[in-house]
Structure 1
Amino acid sequence: MELTIAGLDDIAGVLNLHKKYQVDTILEEDKKDGFVTTSFTREQLTKLIEEEQGLFIATQDGAVIAYVMSASWQFWSGWPIFSYMTDRLPTLKYAGHTLSAHNSYQYGPICVDKAHRGSGLLEAIFDFAREKMATRYPVLVTFINMINARSYAAHTQKLGLEVIAEFEFNNNQYFELAYDTSKALTHSQK
């Protein structure tokens, strides 16, 4: 297995993995094991790679088996939920920071192929992406749909993200979570 910052040649593999677990295309029986809510196009991933260097992947035998997206709030501004979250940032505090679009970034989605879950890949790719983004931002921020229990458990129990708020958007309830990017995952978390 190899962890790397994605290049343009990796987009097709990321989109294939994404389609398997995106809420609109996931098999109903797989939904209980977690899902990704946001859709992405090839053009959006190209911009994420070229302008943000914010797509991190794990590959095995040439196939993308996991990805993490991380980018500035400006990158995410085209999606209504992220604009809403950006507007709320100044009302939130974490790790000694009043949050802003300058001192935090949006982490996620993250997706790990079902065949590799429970292997430590989640922790490895999270920490790889966190380390790269820590050079630009002290705080990672994300959200999880309250009905996505598996993702919530993974992020709070395995990765140590902390709930800093709850919000409603488009008739869905979300947890908003944060993480201090200067903190590498500890052995107890991995």
Structure 2
Amino acid sequence: MVSYKQADTLAELEQILDLQQRNLPKNISQEESTKEGFVTVEHTMDLLKAMNDVCGHIIAVEGNQVVGYALSMHPKFAEDIEVLRPMFQEIDTALNDDINYMAMGQICVAKSHRGQGIFRKLYQTMKENLPEGFDTIVTEVDGKNKRSLAAHAAIGFETLTIYNSGEKQWHIIML
């Protein structure tokens, strides 16, 4: 049975990084990335832990194994990941100043557990665990990641803005 909680051990953070590695474009085929989706950012343990210390990442666990995660990324980390800097600038331009948001820094479900509602439950758990004063969850999805865009739309995310950065089109979406 899968349970949901905030990550609180180093072993859980290590399992997040392992699952992330298995879903980076450099580690999967083009066909798989098109069909199954992919993750973009490769985190270091130091940054992942620092983010978790501010607002715990949400994990799906079966037995002692992390089978899915949604990373909580407080806006104070806006400058820490180069590829995400434009996202935070776009969010700040698109949102009213009175909206306090938590960025969902990355979501991933193990291939063995896809299609079981884990994606939806990760976000539900994230919403339930937002720090006091936060109104919403905002994230961005690579326009080429059709599976992720469809999954986010299915649970109620709406497009806030679309922008280009480098050679990619990004969809900033809000729950």
Q: Same fold (TM over 0.5)?
A: yes
Q: Report the Cα distance in structure 2 between the residues aligned to 1:60 and 1:105, rounded to whole angstroms.
A: 26
Alignment of 1:145 onto 2:142: yes
Equivalent position to 1:37, from 35, 40, 50: 40
DSSP 3-state at the match of 1:135: coil
- With over 3 angstroms needed to count, the CA separation of the structure-2 counterparts of 1:116 and 1:99, relative to structure 1, is farther
Q: Report the Cα distance in structure 2 between the residues aligned to 1:41 and 1:110, rounded to whole angstroms.
A: 16
TM-score, length of structure 1 as denominator length: 0.83
Q: Is the 8 A contact 2:55 2:131 kept in 1?
A: no
TM-score, length of structure 2 as denominator length: 0.90
Runs of 5+ consecutive residues of structure 2 not aligned to the other structure: none
Equivalent position to 1:172, from 163, 168, 172: 168
Deviation digits for residues 6-58 of structure 1, max 9, x if unmatched?
A: 022312211111111112222434212110001111111111222x1231111
* Larger RCO (alpha carbons 8 Å, 6+ apart): 2
In the TM superposition, structure 1's runs of 4+ consecutive aligned residues that sit over 4 Å from their partners are none
Alignment of 1:25 onto 2:27: yes
Q: Report the Cα distance in structure 2 between the residues aligned to 1:27 and 1:14, rounded to whole angstroms.
A: 21
CA apart distance, 1:79: 1.6
Number of equivalent positions: 172
Runs of 5+ consecutive residues of structure 1 not aligned to the other structure: 180-190
AA aligned opposite 2:104: Y
AA aligned opposite 1:156: A
Equivalent position to 2:112, from 104, 115, 121: 115
**Identical-pair percentage:** 25
DSSP 3-state at the match of 2:129: helix
AA aligned opposite 2:48: L
